Amino acid sequence: MAVGFPTAWNMWEIRGHYQLGWAARDPGFAPPNPEMGKWDMVWNVMNHPTYDDFWKVRNPDFSRIQVPVFVVGALHKVGLHLRGVVRGYEEVQTPKKMMLIHGLLDGDEMGIYNSPEMKQLMLRWYDHWLKGNDTGFMAESPVCIFVRGADVYRRENEWPLARTDYRRLYLHAGPSGAVESLNDGRLSWHPPTEADSSFTYSYPDQDWTHFSGGGTAVIEENGVVYGQRRIPTFTSAPLEEDLEVSGSIVLVLYASSDQKNTDFFCRLVDQAPDAEQIPGMPPKRLILTRGWLKASHACTRSEELSKPYRPYYLHDDPKPIEPGKIYKYEIEVWPTCNLFKKGHRIRIDVACGDSPALDFGGHYYGIKVGTDTYHHDKDHPSHVILPVVPV
């Protein structure tokens, strides 16, 4: 038997997405239908916010998968299927194929799955494995990725790409002059040399529009959404040449808080050239991917399952953090494939919350009041690890 779009492992991957927000709600809340708890994903996450026995029996064992696997993931589906697709492909040992697609077709989010081209691929896959027909599909490269920016599909022999150069882009104090934000911090390939450099902000911000609106985004009276105006950002100088980033990403952030817990939400953004920006309007940009981590969950990490390009937290035994202490957090940012063109800027947005308007529905903010500090000095060189692929 062949598997077309296996999603068996996605429930576990989604759990990490919801544990930041939904579990913050009242765990004693009873659903209108008592049977709901037996199958409803959100209800189960609310009642099992850590990796307990409920999740252990549902955690996938990739070694037991014995059928050929063809996985298809949409690059814009950050927070849903993308991570499960990529991790599943990396770990299954059967004959396998992976395709990372743009996802959108003529404005239809799911249109690509119903396109004649995708149906033809599926037909070739199933004809090979179910009918024994030699369609030539398995002789082709096992991986096919869509590179945004270049807007092309490209075949590859493996994932992660063997020629990847993992480069560090360091956080610095601003201004970058590129964006209106709380700090307008900079990104540079050079590590910081300052003895003391950091940025501190308090939350919730009075201009945030919260969970029912834009979350950490600011929404103007005319309806314009400013995603970055009231959160910290870090932006590179305009790129001097094209730069491809294809793979998984890690934000290494040195941070402290006056609270016993805090959250980190990160976006990787491709910001258009300065000449294309419109004064008085939010920067023209493309949000490529996102990552998140609850500080109390960073204490239990699996060294066996972690990769240099993807930390793996167990979420089994959260511990409060010490107020005022600086911790090193390695925040997984989901994979992307993008060509940052010459003149574009790379931007990192990071804050204690995100936006329903911008972040695939966002996370429930709950009741969070406090002050966090992001450190970026020579002793605390916060940086983002980018999987750079030679162009």
CATH number at residue 211: 2.60.120.260
Same domain, 57 and 113: yes
List pLDDT tens digits, range 62-74.
889 999 999 999 9
278 and 319 part of one domain: yes
Cβ density class 341-364: b for 16+ within 10 Å, e for less: beebbbbbbbbbbbbbbbbbebbb
Which of 156, 181, 200 terminates a domain? The answer is 156
- For 119, the enclosing helix (H) or strand (E) is helix 116-130
Q: Identify the domain containing residue 376 by its residue range.
A: 165-389
Give me 50's structure tokens: 């850590």
A 10 A CB-CB count for 38 gives: 9
319, two tokens? 């511990």
Query: Is residue 2 situated within a structural domain?
Result: no
8 A C-beta contact, residue 251 and residue 230: no
Inside any domain, residue 5: no
Q: Is residue 297 part of a domain?
A: yes
Domain boundary among 156, 186, 210: 156
Residues 6+ positions from 272 with CB-CB distance below 8 Å? 283, 284, 285, 344
Q: What is the pLDDT of residue 221?
A: 81
Residue 107 sits in the same domain as residue 25: yes
DSSP label at residue 207: T
Residue ending a domain, choose from 138, 156, 174: 156
Q: What is the CA radius of gyration of the chain?
A: 21
Residue 47 · residue 75 · CB < 8 Å: no
- Establish if 1 belongs to a structural domain: no
Report CA 294 to chain centroid distance, whole Å. Answer: 14
What's the total number of domains in the chain?
Answer: 2
pLDDT per residue as tens digits for the range 95-141: 999 999 987 666 666 778 888 989 999 999 999 999 999 999 999 99
Spatial distance between the Cα atoms of 100 and 144, rounded to a whole number of angstroms:
6
Q: Are residues 281 and 219 in the same domain?
A: yes
CA dist 57 and 358 (Å) reads 34
pLDDT computed for residue 377 by the predictor: 98
Closest CA to 90 of 68, 115, 125, 62: 62
Say if 174 falls within a structural domain: yes
Q: Indicate the SS3 state at residue 188.
A: strand
The backbone torsions φ and ψ at residue 248, rounded to the nearest 5 degrees and listed phi first, read -85, 155
Q: Which residues of the chain have pLDDT under 70?
A: 1-39, 104-109, 211-212
Give residue 23's pLDDT.
36
At 294 the three-state DSSP class reads strand
HSE value, Cβ hemisphere, 13 Å, CA-based, for 198:
17
Strands 370-375 and 243-257: antiparallel
**Is residue 52 domain-shared with residue 149, that is, in the same domain?**
yes
Q: Are residues 129 and 182 in the same domain?
A: no
Residue 24, pLDDT score: 37
Give dist(CA 318, CA 259) in Å, integer. Answer: 15
> What tokens appear for 28 in the block?
């004693």
